[in-house]
Amino acid sequence: MKQLVVATRNNGKILEINALLAGLVDQICCAADFVDFPETIEDGVTFEENALKKAREAAVYTGLPALADDSGLTVAALKGSPGVFSARYAGVDAGDAANNSRLLRECLDVPDELRQAAFVCVLAFVTPEGDEMLFTGSIGGKILSAARGEGGFGYDPLFLVDGYDRSMAELTLAEKNSISHRAQAFEKFRLFLCSDMS
């Protein structure tokens, strides 16, 4: 693929995507590369709706194939919350500390055996011609009663990864990138690109 626009202004995410898609895409652009790139209002009730909305708007605005993701944490005992509101669980301008504090409060009376959770990532790929594909990754775990670890971001310190005795924030970056919900979704997208190019 010659060009791909990613519907994000996050330079860190672009660097990560460049590495993940090395050799498959000649040039990866982002929202910051275009004048007046529209800010998508993420008003969907699912990760799929938000990811598709961002990718559709980017494809229409740029005339290029577009990729967008929406991801977050779902907690079974909280009926799937924070879900699509993961980044703003404690309020629109809340940061990681406030979001984590709210999650701990919400789970205070939830017994250990009912703290199942999952990180979910949905990637939406949309072409200017209107073709659309979704790629989903998820990783299971449970919510801890206190933060553990210094790495990662978001809810990582509160998420005990299934099959590990460590939180997501206690994993090395290499470990996290090999098992994360985002890594799984991107691996599916990579396989799609490889098969599409063969």
The residue-averaged pLDDT of 15-25 equals: 84
Q: What is the DSSP letter of 116?
A: E
pLDDT of res. 92: 87
Q: What is the mean pLDDT of the chain?
A: 92
Please count the structural domains in the chain: 1
**190 vs 22: CA distance, rounded Å:** 10
User: CATH code at 180?
Assistant: 3.90.950.10
The residue-averaged pLDDT of 142-151 equals: 95
pLDDT of res. 63: 95
Active site residues: 70
pLDDT of res. 163: 95
Contacts of 122 by beta carbon, 8 Å cutoff, 6+ apart? 47, 48, 51, 69, 70, 71, 134, 135, 136, 185
pLDDT of res. 197: 62
- Cross-strand bridge partners of residue 29: 5
Domain containing residue 152: 3-197
Q: What is the pLDDT of residues 80-94, one digit of tens each?
A: 999 999 989 999 888
